[in-house]
Amino acid sequence: MTPRHADTHPGSLPEARDEVLHEAVREALDGAPDEAHGKGHATAATGRRRSPGRWSGGPFRTLGVAGALAGAALGGLLLGAAAPALAAAPGATASAAAVRAPQPTTVTVSGSGRAAAAPDLAALSVGVEATRKTAKEALAAQSEAAKALVDALHAQGIAERDIRTESLSLSPVYTQTPEGESKVTGYQAGQSFSVKVRDIDRTGQIIGAVNEATGDAGRINGVVFDVADPTTLRAKAREAAYRDAHDKAAQHARLSGHRLGRLVSLTEGESSRPGPGAVPSAPADGGEGVPLAPGEIEEHVTVTAVFELV
């Protein structure tokens, strides 16, 4: 008997199942008893009459046979639909295996870099204070001293954009009585300024001029030297920090019997800048200026790098 092509070619499976199902239903219906007369009838295929006694159960048995055949055919359809999903299972297993692949070996190092340059900017913190018996008198004296300070800065060639008020204050002055009580005996008013000196060679001269203009009310709080544009200095420090981290990672690779691979990640920390330097108060009579030593400005950058080891 020649095998059906539908059994060997997946594309023809639906047609073969339909044909089997229809043939089975026809045979079942042909062999069913005549419900109207209770007698057997001749099949279309043979012309022979079948006896009613041959079908115990009557039409219910006929329906049962047809339902069983239909269920078998439906099961075949469901199995055929599930076949592609089952065929894809090996690929899913391969993907899961790829996820569980071992992670590459890495080394994490930190690098530090410094760069120095001569300063080209000085930032002064200067101010005035006045103490009087009343608040009004204290504010008036402070205002007069502050005006003298600003006028002296302008006379030294400091532009308006380089002078900025940092703080303004007015507070009572307390004195303790012999009985141990605190008593207000006056008021103190103060004002401080931030001043940028772009010609740092004249910084000491400017400090002396401020002190001379303000007298006893003048205050020199501090000075810090800096560079006007730190971009170039910071870039040099960053390059040095990266080289330091790379050299450390390469050494770890050699010590562990590996070769240094690609850079996985790089994080830069905050760069540090110089803090304000203290300057002694200038004498009341001013003079030629306060001697200063600008020195060098240092930029410090740190990085954290992760490299692969191969």
pLDDT at 149: 98
191 Cβ partners below 8 Å, 6+ apart?
127, 128, 142, 146, 165, 167, 168, 169
pLDDT at 224: 92
pLDDT at 210: 95
Sole residue written with tokens 């200063």 = 292
pLDDT at 15: 53
- C-alpha distances in Å from residue 175, one per residue of 172, 181, 183, 246, 301: 10, 8, 5, 63, 50
The span from the CA of 102 to the CA of 55, in Å, is: 69
Residue 107 burial (CB count, 10 A): 21
- pLDDT < 70 positions in the chain: 1-99, 273-289
Helix residue ranges per DSSP H, the chain: 13-30, 58-87, 89-99, 135-155, 203-214, 231-255
Crossing angle of the two packed helices 58-87 and 89-99, in degrees rounded to 10: 40
pLDDT at 292: 87
pLDDT at 271: 81
> Are the beta carbons of 307 and 262 closer than 8 angstroms?
yes
* Phi/psi at 176 (5° precision): -90, 130
pLDDT at 18: 54
Q: Which tokens go with 276?
A: 């304000």
Q: Which tokens go with 79?
A: 């199995």
Residues 269-280: pLDDT tens digits? Answer: 988 765 544 444
Residues 11-49: pLDDT tens digits? Answer: 444 455 556 455 654 655 555 444 444 444 444 334 444
End-to-end CA distance of the chain: 65
Per the DSSP assignment, residues forming a β-bridge with 131 are: 188
Q: Which tokens go with 70?
A: 């239909």
pLDDT at 177: 87
> Are the beta carbons of 99 and 301 closer than 8 angstroms?
no
Helix then strand then coil, in percent of the chain rounded to 5, is: 45, 30, 30
The span from the CA of 133 to the CA of 106, in Å, is: 71
pTM reported for the whole predicted model: 0.56
